[in-house]
C-alpha cells in the first residue's frame, strides 16, 4: 500500500472511500468516479494510497492555488520527494515553490509571451493547412497517430528551435513524465521502462548547441547570458518545454476532434463562426481535462472546509472532476462551443498555472480555424478508445474521416 509517501490516517469527518483512482477502467472512463468523488464530500480519504482527494470545484481550486500550505516541491505526483528520490532531477519550475519558483517562472513567462506565441501563428496555420489538406484525401485514418501526434511534434520543435526532432521520443518522454505522477502501477512501469534511452536523447536535445537562433529554447539561454538563471538551469527549462509542451497538446487535439465529432451541431456552430475557435478550445479543455489530476503535499497542519489535514498529506487534486462540478458549471455534461468556461482548471490555477498556455492556445487556434474552414463534418468511424494515463486523459485511437466543405 505504501507508495513513495507517508500514508496518513483518515482525518475526522472525511469520507473514507475504498477505490483505486488509478485503476485503468476508471482512468479510461472517469465520469462516474468524478461524480462520486464530489458526492462523498469536500475532502475524501483514499485508504488504498493513504492520501486525500478533492474533486469539488471550490476545494480543488483552493488546494491547487495555495502554494504556501500545499507545496509542489515535494512532488506533484504520489511520490513525496521528502522521502523518495525522484526518477529524474526535479523540474526547476514545476516541482519548486516560491520564492525559488518565481525566478525560473519569470524567464518562462517571457519565453512564451503572447507576442512569442503570435510570432509562431503563420507557421502553425501553414502546418495545419498542409496536414488537413492531406487528411481530407484519406478514406479514414487514426486521428491520434496521424493528426493529434503529428501536429505538435511538427510545430513544437520548430517553435523551440530544436535541431533534433524525434516525434516518437518527444511523445514517449511526455508520457513518462505524466505517468510517473501516479503510483507504481503497470501504466507507470511501462512508461518508465523506456526511460534510459529517451532521457539520454532528451538531455542532448536540450543543450545550447542543439538549439537554433531565434527559437524559444535559445531565449532561455539568452536569459542565462543576462544572468537571470544559470546555463545549467536554461537546459532544465528547455527540458520543461519538452516535458509539458508535447503530450498535453497532442491530447488536446485528439480530445477536440472527439468533442466535435460527437457533437456535430456544436461543430456547425464553429464552422458558422470560426472566431469561436478560442472559446471552443476552452470548452474542450473544461469538458475533457487533458491533465485530469495533479497532487499537492500539505507542508503543515491545516484544514480545508472544516476537515483537518495533517502535514505530509498528499492531496490528489482531481481537475477533471472540478471541471465537471454542476455547482460551478450548471450543465457540465453539455459540450457547448460558446460556453466560454471562465475559470476552468484544465490549465491549473495560481502561480503554477500553465505557463505555456499562450502557445497551446495559438496551436489549437490554428487547428480549429483551419478545420472550420476546410472540413464540413468530422465523422467518427468507430467507437474511440481511451488510453489510461496516471495524469493524462487522452485517446489511444480514434478512426475518423474528414469531409470536404
Residues within the interface to ligand OVV (CB under 6 A): 91, 93-94, 177-178, 240, 243-244
CB of 181 to ligand OVV, least distance (A): 7
The string of DSSP codes covering 232-299 is: HHHHHHHHHHHHHSSHHHHHHHHHHHHHHHH-HHHHHHHHH-GGGHHHHHHHHHHHH-SB-EEEEEE-
Nearer to ligand OVV among residue 42 and residue 290 (C-beta): 290
Distance CA 311, CA 69 (A): 9
Distance CA 333, CA 288 (A): 10
Mutual angle of helices 231-244 and 195-205, in 10-degree steps = 120
Q: Name, in order, each residue with C-beta under 8 angstroms of 369's C-beta and a sequence gap of 6 or more.
A: 125, 128, 274, 277
Distance CA 39, CA 55 (A): 9
Residue 403 CA to its chain's centroid (Å): 29
Nearer to ligand OVV among residue 240 and residue 249 (C-beta): 240
Nearer to ligand OVV among residue 127 and residue 240 (C-beta): 240
Q: Are 64 and 349 in contact (CB under 8 A)?
A: yes
Nearer to ligand OVV among residue 135 and residue 162 (C-beta): 162
H or E, element range at 308: strand 307-309
CB of 227 to ligand OVV, least distance (A): 22
CB of 88 to ligand OVV, least distance (A): 9
Q: Which three cell numbers stand for residue 33?
A: 468516479
CB of 373 to ligand OVV, least distance (A): 32
Nearer to ligand OVV among residue 191 and residue 240 (C-beta): 240
CB of 355 to ligand OVV, least distance (A): 8
Nearer to ligand OVV among residue 33 and residue 178 (C-beta): 178
CB of 30 to ligand OVV, least distance (A): 19
Q: Name, in order, each residue with C-beta under 8 angstroms of 196's C-beta and a sequence gap of 6 or more.
A: none
CB of 31 to ligand OVV, least distance (A): 23
Dihedral-angle region of residue 326 (phi above 0 means left; psi in -120 to 50 means alpha; beta otherwise): alpha
Nearer to ligand OVV among residue 240 and residue 251 (C-beta): 240
Nearer to ligand OVV among residue 178 and residue 258 (C-beta): 178
Distance CA 259, CA 268 (A): 12
CB of 274 to ligand OVV, least distance (A): 30
Write the CA distances from 371 to 257, 396, 402, integer angstroms.
Answer: 10, 21, 9
Amino acid at each position: 500500500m505504501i507508495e513513495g509517501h507517508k500514508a496518513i490516517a483518515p482525518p475526522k469527518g472525511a469520507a473514507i472511500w475504498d477505490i483505486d483512482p488509478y485503476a485503468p477502467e476508471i482512468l479510461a472512463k472517469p465520469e462516474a468516479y468524478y461524480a462520486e468523488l464530489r458526492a462523498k464530500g469536500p475532502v475524501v480519504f483514499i485508504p488504498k494510497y493513504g492520501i486525500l482527494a478533492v474533486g469539488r470545484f471550490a476545494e480543488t481550486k483552493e488546494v491547487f492555488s495555495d502554494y504556501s500550505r500545499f507545496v509542489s516541491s515535494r512532488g506533484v505526483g504520489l511520490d513525496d520527494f521528502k522521502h523518495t528520490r525522484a526518477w529524474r532531477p526535479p523540474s526547476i519550475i514545476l516541482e519548486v515553490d516560491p520564492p525559488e519558483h518565481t525566478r525560473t517562472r519569470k524567464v518562462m513567462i517571457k519565453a512564451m509571451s503572447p507576442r512569442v506565441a503570435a510570432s509562431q501563428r503563420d507557421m502553425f496555420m501553414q502546418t495545419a493547412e498542409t496536414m488537413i489538406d492531406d487528411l481530407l484525401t484519406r478514406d479514414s485514418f487514426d486521428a491520434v497517430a496521424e493528426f493529434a501526434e503529428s501536429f505538435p511534434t511538427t510545430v513544437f520543435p520548430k517553435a523551440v528551435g530544436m535541431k533534433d526532432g524525434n516525434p516518437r521520443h518527444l511523445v514517449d518522454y511526455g508520457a513518462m513524465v505524466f505517468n510517473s505522477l501516479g503510483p507504481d502501477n503497470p501504466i507507470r512501469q511501462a512508461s518508465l521502462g523506456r526511460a534510459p534511452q529517451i532521457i539520454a536523447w532528451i538531455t542532448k536535445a536540450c543543450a545550447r548547441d542543439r538549439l537554433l537562433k531565434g527559437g524559444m529554447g535559445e531565449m532561455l539561454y539568452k536569459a542565462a547570458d543576462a544572468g537571470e538563471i544559470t546555463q545549467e538551469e536554461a537546459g532544465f527549462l528547455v527540458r520543461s518545454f519538452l516535458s509539458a509542451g508535447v503530450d498535453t497538446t497532442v491530447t488536446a487535439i485528439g480530445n477536440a476532434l472527439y468533442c466535435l465529432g460527437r457533437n456535430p451541431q456544436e461543430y456547425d456552430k464553429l464552422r458558422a463562426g470560426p472566431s469561436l475557435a478560442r472559446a471552443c478550445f476552452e470548452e474542450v479543455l473544461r469538458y475533457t481535462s487533458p491533465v485530469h489530476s495533479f497532487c499537492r503535499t500539505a507542508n503543515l497542519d491545516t484544514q480545508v472546509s472544516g476537515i483537518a489535514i495533517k502535514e505530509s498529506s498528499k492531496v490528489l487534486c482531481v481537475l477533471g472532476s472540478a471541471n465537471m462540478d454542476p455547482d460551478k458549471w450548471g450543465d457540465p455534461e453539455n459540450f457547448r462551443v460558446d460556453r466560454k468556461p471562465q475559470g476552468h482548471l484544465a490549465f491549473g490555477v495560481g502561480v503554477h498555472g500553465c505557463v505555456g498556455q499562450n502557445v497551446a492556445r495559438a496551436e489549437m487556434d490554428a487547428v480549429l480555424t483551419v478545420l472550420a474552414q476546410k472540413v464540413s463534418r468530422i465523422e467518427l468511424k468507430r467507437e474511440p478508445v481511451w488510453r489510461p494515463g496516471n495524469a493524462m486523459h487522452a485517446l489511444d485511437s480514434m478512426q475518423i474521416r474528414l469531409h470536404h466543405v
